Structure 1
Amino acid sequence: MNKVVFILNEHAGRGRAKKIWASWKEKIDFPYTCYVTEYRGHATNIARECAQYREGDLLIIAIGGDGTVHEIISGITNYDHVRVGVISAGSGNDFGRTFSVFKTVEQLQMYARNLYTYEKLDFGLLTTKENKFGFVNNAGFGFDAKVGHSVNNSSWKKWLNVLGLGKIAYILFVVKELLTFTRFSFTLHTGKDTLKFDDVWFFVVCNQPFFGGGMKISPQSRPNDQLIEMTVVSKLAKWKLLFIFGTVFFGKHTKYKEVKQFQASNFTIMMHDQVYGHVDGEFSCLTEPDHRYSFSVQSKAWNLAKPISKGVKK
């Protein structure tokens, strides 16, 4: 196996990933292997198999959106000989707003010839009664997860994507859920305090600042500090929720009394209602009333390949 492997999601960014790869591969001057994903979770399986098969240094390059990156990193955590690089080609690309990504073929070729400058980073973990879900960016429950689940399972989105109007589907479901969403309650255990939250729209636990395509939901989050941050939005009028969403892009929402933030290495929550959940924007589970769920952080769990620049050490 070559020491450089590309994992391509041709459908990411409504075909943008496929176009980028078609352009880049003509210029690449080093040996590589390329795999094309065929189903959800395929990138995880490919990445894990490559990590297990090759014992020497391995560079895996993701070509796709946040979902593709999430799958690949989920497959290689704790394989210390593997580096993950990213060519952002999705719709939201929250990963690329915080983490280093390859922006040109020349940058990638320079890196491939001088392996390996990298950074060890944290990986979040949501643990339920039956499963464990990893996350690179964030995970949570509530309004945003329900909107995302509705959009991803809508026949409207497929038709609108064909017309290049996929974002309209998201707007339509935001309006729908704003009118129909049932707010929920949960109890948070931080290790120091036990806090009950009622009339909750959503909460999200973050490993980096951004979610939802550029919203700076957790300004203090850092992916290498062995900590995670929780943001809770509750007791908020519908009209004000829309207004606050507008301020999130600038990280100004934290000044509102309806927005609470906490920082810790782990959180345990007791959900009191059935609520939709997500990890890195993908559906995770439906919560069961009066069941416990926990969020934690795995320190230095994976290696990010970083474009070579001055002042960066191997």
Structure 2
Amino acid sequence: MLAVTADDHLPAAPSPGGPVAVLANPTAGRGRHRGMLPRMLERLATAGRPVQLLEARTPEEAEAACRTAVADGVSALLAVGGDGTVHRALQAVAGTAVPFGPVPAGTGNDFAVDTGFPADPLAAVEVVVAALRDGRTHPVDLARMTGADGVHRWYGAVLAAGFDAIVNERANRMRWPRGPRRYDLAILVELARLRPRRYTLRIDGEAQELDAVLVAVGNCPTYGGGMRICPDADPTDGLLDVVVGGRFDRRTLMRVKPRIYQGTHVRHPLVRTYRARTVELAADGITTYADGERSLDLPVTVTAVPAAVRLLC
């Protein structure tokens, strides 16, 4: 994970004659869209600008390549992949005027779909091409989180800071089994250990302490490939949606979790929702996951930043 302090992120302006940089993750979505990349690049070339495919072997290299491309004056940046790929690219374009196109080609494509892009990657490329030709962009909000040490990260969809984050952290530490079964096993292990955690939550300066199992701070409604954890979140309203699932036991959690796909879990009496410009969140022993990517340890401060990125749609 790359992280920067507030002073490290310098504004960048797009170069009208510069190339369109493309960050592509060939392993996204278990590689099922890998064969489409040449066609995507061909279609992008019809927008009348050079196309530059960025080289990266690791997520850290991908993020660094995006930052370099933006600093060098690209006219736009595209991320072909899932939410993790988009998350890396957002670190480079957030807070700049460089237009951005998330092309959904991963297992989870929540930010792209929630901000209006077609779920089909080739159709999404056509939307980007039309926007490039017309010089059209659409501003949307991002969330900016800052750790206790001043390090900050941007995210587009949802920050998980409860059971789901704990499961991800467990799965990432496990060396066996490989693939989706590792995540399934991590769920079983953490369900057996389930207990509410004590959180300090400050909503626009108003503090409260509560015990919770699920905690999410959303700029967009969905995470995890379509789970509507923050169903009323709107990435154009300048606000964050906070959803807190309280003192769930194992049985209650397993009953509530399927309802997240429809967003009806917020009707449960143990679920509280909030809306705010700034959210401060603290708890012991929690590593957050933003856009599905391992991020900062609590405590963090999350701020809604209106129109922080300009999308090619």
Which band: TM-score by shorter chain? 0.7 to 0.9
Measured after TM superposition, the shift of residue 238 of structure 1 is 0.7
Query: How many angstroms apart in 2 are the aligned matches of 1:117 and 1:132?
Result: 29
Shift of 1:18: 2.4
Residue 178 (structure 1) aligned to one of 191, 204, 209? 191
Q: Name 2:264's counterpart in structure 1.
A: 252
Give the secondary structure class of the aligned counterpart of 2:188: helix
1:163 match: none
* Deviations, residues 280-299 of structure 1 (Å, cap 9, x unaligned): 11122343xxxx53111112
What displacement does 1:91 show? Answer: 0.8
Contact 1:140-1:277 at 8 Å conserved across structures: yes
Specify the SS of the correspondent of 1:36: coil
Out of 288, 294, 297, the residue aligned to residue 277 of structure 1 is 288
Contact 1:139 1:206 in 2 (8 A): yes
Instruction: State yes or no: 1:10 paired with 2:29.
Output: no
- Match for 2:300 among 290, 293, 296? 293
Shift in Å at residue 255 of structure 1?
Answer: 0.8
Partner of 1:230: 242
Paired residue for 1:47?
66
**CA distances 1:177-235 after superposition (whole Å, capped 9, x unpaired):** 1111343101222246332202x212110001001221111111111111001111111
Change (3 A) 1:267 1:50: same
Runs of 5+ consecutive residues of structure 1 not aligned to the other structure = 161-165, 307-314
2:122 is aligned, of 104, 107, 116, to 104
The partner residue of 2:155 within 126, 129, 135 is 135
1:189 aligned partner: 202
Pick closer, same or farther for the CA change 1:280–1:109 going to 2, 3 Å: closer
In structure 1, what is the equivalent of residue 311 of structure 2? 304
Closer, same or farther: CA 27–267 of 1 in aligned 2, 3 Å: closer
Query: 1:216 and 2:228 equivalent?
Result: yes
Identity of aligned residues (%): 24
Q: Distance in 2 between matches of 1:109 and 1:187?
A: 42
- Alpha-carbon shift at residue 17 of structure 1 (Å): 4.3
Q: For 1:260-297, what per-residue CA distance to the aligned partner results, in whole angstroms no more than 9, with x for missing partners?
A: 100010012342x222321111122343xxxx531111
For 1:296 and 1:37, locate their aligned partners in 2 and report how far apart those are by CA, in whole Å. 30
Q: TM-score, normalised by structure 1?
A: 0.84
Instruction: Figure out how many residues of one structure are paired with residues of the other and give that number.
Output: 290
C-alpha distance in 2, partners of 1:171/1:232?
23
RMSD between aligned alpha carbons? 2.2
